[in-house]
A and B are shown apart, each in its own frame.
Chain A
Amino acid sequence: DAGVIQSPRHEVTEMGQEVTLRCKLISGHNSLFWYRQTMMRGLELLIYFNNNVPIDDSGMPEDRFSAKMPNASFSTLKIQPSEPRDSAVYFCASTSWEGTEAFFGQGTRLTVV
């Protein structure tokens, strides 16, 4: 298995543009987590899904952020419109139904200018 795959690895966009980050889970995993990492705030949980259903989105900063899980193996995180303060590394991670050990993707480094 290739592990959790995120794309793109790097994204530079202008303020106001829409940004879509993508994540492919490990086959057989049923929980999906989106985290954001910054120097100031560390690793923050944005949202997580269990069996494709959003369970807790209390970490989503504001309505500009949305996440979907259209099927059991794929998720997107969309920011519209993007702002410079959204610049961060965004990670997705997945776990199997039987454990909480999280498998992380390599992250997407987002820069909004």
Chain B
Amino acid sequence: SQQGEEDPQALSIQEGENATMNCSYKTSINNLQWYRQNSGRGLVHLILIRSNEREKHSGRLRVTLDTSKKSSSLLITASRAADTASYFCATDAGRRALTFGSGTRLQVQP
């Protein structure tokens, strides 16, 4: 079963705009991770935020975590056509195996 649910399911923006994706989860977690999947490829780790952190930055990525609401958001600033991909949140609830959400398909129009 899906631990996380991403919202929206699909997002289409113009190059240069910001893209925000949200993730909700159900159980207590040790950390939450975001992954990207290009079409026909495997998932690639983007960023990890621990349960005691509220915000983290990495380049054009900004992740927030609200454990009281069991939610996280991923912001991609100044998007590029190359950011077109599906984005997944994944939660680590302490058993080492990650549980993935349903994903957001991002389309960045050049």
Count A interface residues, CB 8 Å.
Answer: 22
Residues of B within 8 A of A101 (CB): 33, 45, 48
In chain A, what residue has the closest Cβ to B46?
Answer: A101
A12 is an interface residue with CB less than 8 A from chain B: no
B10 is an interface residue with CB less than 8 A from chain A: no
Q: How many A-B residue pairs have CB under 8 A?
A: 54
Count B interface residues, CB 8 Å.
Answer: 23
Residue among A43, A50, A103, A106 with the most chain B CB within 10 A?
A43
Distance (whole angstroms) from the CB of B47 to the closest CB of chain A: 10
Distance (whole angstroms) from the CB of A14 to the closest CB of chain B: 24
Residues of A within 8 A of B (CB): 4, 31, 33, 35, 42-43, 45, 48, 50, 55-56, 91, 93, 95, 100-107
